Structure 1
Amino acid sequence: MVLDRLLFLLSLWLGFVGATQAALSEPIPPSKDPWYTAPPGFENAEPGTVFRVRPAPGNLTSVIGNCSASYNILYRTTDSHFKPTWAVTTLLVPKLGPESLAQQKYQQSALLSFQVPYDSPDVDASPSNAMYDASDFFSNYYGAALGEGIFVSVPDYEGPLAAFTAGLISGYATLDSIRAILSLGLGFNTIDTPSVALWGYSGGAFATEWASELAVQYAPELVAGPVIGAVMGAPLPNITSCMRDVNGGPKSGLVVNILLGLTGQYPDVRKHLVSKLNDDGQYNKAGFLAAEGFTISEALSTFSGNINKYFQKGTDILSDPKITALINREGVLGYHGTPRWPMFIYQAISDEVTPIAATDAVVERYCSVGADVHFERNTLGSHDEEAGNSYDAAFQWLLDIFSGQRDTKGCVIKDVTRDVTGDVTRDVTREL
């Protein structure tokens, strides 16, 4: 009767939270869907407070494997100016019942917060809208976790302004999405505290890592209680290093999306950025700003070569003092608090998007202050390939911590050789 209880609780929330609508036959982009608004007076609520709940529109349960139900949840969070704002997360429910893995393995008390690398300054690219695409690579991640009986939360952590690579709101919105899910208890065992883990790759690892650093001050109850670990694949510890690495190559569009995402919460810096763009010519202001409505795929296919050609006299915009100051505030990790839960970090040594040296540096910093880190550096593969090459290792680490089988103490750094077959040769192990 667990499913009946789940539906009963949901009906209570649908009536209590208000401003909720009947399930839609098809999803509406967030920019056009009135559901994506906070109620009057939301600013007075505590972070993590739930304002709206609805069954996710359309056919999401048929797109994502092993999913018995899905819900959109709108909740209070905090922006990068430390002011109240809101965000949305999508809760995916595994198959329930007394014979289900969710019950038999975890007593329905395991939750994975998965941060998707949506990498876009367009709110309509948010996961709650984009995850309906059956070709989405990361839907395999959700399906695998659900198949193990784990609930999955997928937050739109960039917030309502789609502030891509704004670390503060990304971390806050991730943490508050966990608070929101736990406060609902939809389908969870409410007697025992649920166990929660985080996972993200690339831009999603950026949000996961910010959440891990900010949690000690912002959400200490999560540190002391339910969160048991975090997995980060190819994180972006330094946004400047990332942009300099990709600028001029096939992933130059990432620079455009980062600059627009970073300045989304900072009108003065956005105005300054726009003032530096060319008014006319082939590489002009209109072409650059078109990326405000681009997904990451669209940005990568549109922009190539050095992005500085869009700026007057070929200005190195990444050296601009106002841009640099904003990046230092929002895009550099290792300085906002020591993560207090165990971490599994993995990255290809030859990663062309986020330099391995930047990840090495932040891992060494964590280790020097007593964090529990397991870091695997893969001698094979690119940034994109590593998402598949180390998937099995990352997922197994998660399963181990959920089952209490992982010794997570201390700092271990390993060079591994791993390809898509999952074969591993361990080359070097350093325990710090």
Structure 2
Amino acid sequence: MQETSRNGRRGWVLVAAVALLATLIPAGQTAQAAPVADRVVAAAAATPDPFYTYTGTKRLADFAPGSVLKTRTVSYSIAGIPLPLKVVQIVFRTTNQRGQAVAGVTSVFKPLAGVTSKVMSYQSFYDSLNPEDGPSRSVAGGTNPGGMAAHFETAMMVPFLLQGYAIVMSDTQGPTADFAAGPEYGMVTLDSLRATLKVPATGVVALTAKIGLIGYSGGAIATNWASVLAPSYAPDINKRLVGAAEGGVLVRPATNLTYVDGSLVWAGIVPMAVVGVARSFNVDLRPYLSAYGVTVYNKMQKASILQVLGAYPGLTWKKLVKPAYTDPSTIPIFVKLVNQLNLGARPNPTIPMLIGQGTGGELEGTIGNKAPGRGDGVMVAGDVRTLAKKYCSGGVKVTHREYPLSHFLSVPFWLAEAVPWLMARFAGTPAGNNCATIPAGNPLGPLKAR
């Protein structure tokens, strides 16, 4: 009976994930989608909800990370249509990429009955340069197309809600949507959990609660960085963590830059990341860009991933920059910044990890015959292998999986294993590992300036 129930859950999750993928990949989105690149990418203007802005008289820096600034309870809404699911939203003090105190926001989905000691921290892949695309805005009734992924991700987490877990879903990119700024993602995630555990902020989470981390793609950035930073930045949260499940992992951004160069679907992620990195570190990279690069840079200031995928088929770094900078390593400030975002240079986590990665990137228009090797279209399999082996050598229990599919198509296979794997960690079942069978990967050393 138990095995039948587990198979049923897996089947349900697969259906939900396939529905998600169908939504994320618009019909007919192929290399012919180039005209999208000529549109203004900002979503329709929405009036910002003042709830998400801290207006108190006390300096944010005077609050401890994770301090609750304000809360409210709302009905979960899809484009303004309320559903019978209550969500507690919390504005809290956190830290941005530059080490500054800022106000973050998270949404806590109440379990169906009573106080719970099980918290699932779900990191969204909303990937956007527009703060109004954050999942907390969407579940409160926001209508920005770039934030709609949150609704399908909520469906993916239904198995946990049905099992009595509280779900915590944060706007991991911070108040200014600092896309690709991994450390900020991690600190926001950890501080959101600190805030969630402060009673009576939610009234549904026990003080003794255990926590699991889960996320795919952009959500994997937050999941991995939270796992890595927790022992030093939030040891109070680290001691509660039972494990982390992630898929489609960004490890060494400098490698990804080479991998997606010229991709039919994923090439537009490069200028999107340039905007996010420049914003998060408060630097100006426009002096290095070509006239075309500046045009794209300006258009992308509020772009979401849905507006970028397939919109710049075949775009190369060479076209984005001036002739003197066709080698990214000739831009010293860029080298400095991307090296700070390299997970391979950071300490190991202390919790079990499930790490999944696709290798069929050709299905999404990215050829894997260049130096980085194969990937899923945007993330590089060799980098993920080396990161997993690094964790293994540090004593971390790692389950590493590869799927011969692309980034989107790998989701249901990863999710079908991630859900029961995390549930087993909450149940106290010791994590296994397959460290001995992980293939050799790519070097994860720093990008060297020329």
TM-score relative to the length of structure 1: 0.78
Deviations 1:311-359 (A, max 9, x none): 2238426332211210101x21033322111111111233221111000
Matching residue within 257, 260, 263 for 1:246: 260
Alpha-carbon distance, 1:31 to partner: 7.1
The alignment partner of 2:392 has SS state of: helix
Take 1:189 and 1:247, find their aligned partners in 2: how far apart are those partners?
45
1:121 aligns with 2:129: yes
Q: Please, which runs of 5 or more residues in structure 1 have no aligned partner?
A: 1-27, 98-106, 417-432
Report the counterpart of residue 278 of structure 1 in structure 2.
290
Are the aligned partners of 1:213 and 1:334 in contact in 2 as well (CA < 8 Å)?
no
1:382 aligns with 2:390: no
Are the aligned partners of 1:342 and 1:371 in contact in 2 as well (CA < 8 Å)?
yes
Report the counterpart of residue 420 of structure 1 in structure 2.
none
Take 2:226 and 2:262, find their aligned partners in 1: how far apart are those partners?
31
Are the aligned partners of 1:31 and 1:123 in contact in 2 as well (CA < 8 Å)?
no
Give me the identity figure in percent: 28
1:347 aligns with 2:357: yes
The alignment partner of 2:356 has SS state of: strand
Take 2:238 and 2:46, find their aligned partners in 1: how far apart are those partners?
32
Q: Please, which runs of 5 or more residues in structure 2 have no aligned partner?
A: 1-43, 142-147, 361-375, 440-450
Matching residue within 236, 244, 259 for 2:250: 236
Report the counterpart of residue 373 of structure 2 in structure 1.
none
Take 1:71 and 1:188, find their aligned partners in 2: how far apart are those partners?
9
Are the aligned partners of 1:377 and 1:415 in contact in 2 as well (CA < 8 Å)?
no
Alignment size in residue pairs: 368
Matching residue within 89, 95, 99 for 1:72: 89
Query: What letter corresponds to residue 71 of structure 1 in structure 2?
Result: V
Deviations 1:345-399 (A, max 9, x none): 1112332211110001111111111112111222x21111111122111111011
Take 1:400 and 1:288, find their aligned partners in 2: how far apart are those partners?
45
Alpha-carbon distance, 1:263 to partner: 1.2
Deviations 1:219-246 (A, max 9, x none): 111222x211111112111112222211
Query: What letter corresponds to residue 401 of structure 1 in structure 2?
Result: R
Query: What letter corresponds to residue 338 of structure 2 in structure 1?
Result: I
The alignment partner of 1:377 has SS state of: strand
Matching residue within 13, 25, 50 for 1:34: 50
Question: Which one scores higher on RCO, CA 8 angstroms, separation ≥ 6?
Answer: 2
Report the counterpart of residue 373 of structure 1 in structure 2.
398
Deviations 1:167-191 (A, max 9, x none): 221111111011010113524353x
Matching residue within 175, 198, 201 for 2:213: 198
Take 2:163 and 2:267, find their aligned partners in 1: how far apart are those partners?
38
1:305 aligns with 2:314: yes
Report the counterpart of residue 174 of structure 1 in structure 2.
189
Take 2:436 and 2:426, find their aligned partners in 1: how far apart are those partners?
22
Deviations 1:250-280 (A, max 9, x none): 111111211111111223x3x2x1122333x
Take 2:97 and 2:67, find their aligned partners in 1: how far apart are those partners?
18
Alpha-carbon distance, 1:156 to partner: 0.7
Change in CA separation of 1:312 and 1:335 when aligned onto 2, cut-off 3 Å: closer
Take 2:307 and 2:69, find their aligned partners in 1: how far apart are those partners?
33
The alignment partner of 2:306 has SS state of: helix
Map residues 97-136 of structure 1 onto 2, 5 A cutoff: 97=114, 108-131=116-139, 133=148, 136=151
Alpha-carbon distance, 1:86 to partner: 1.9
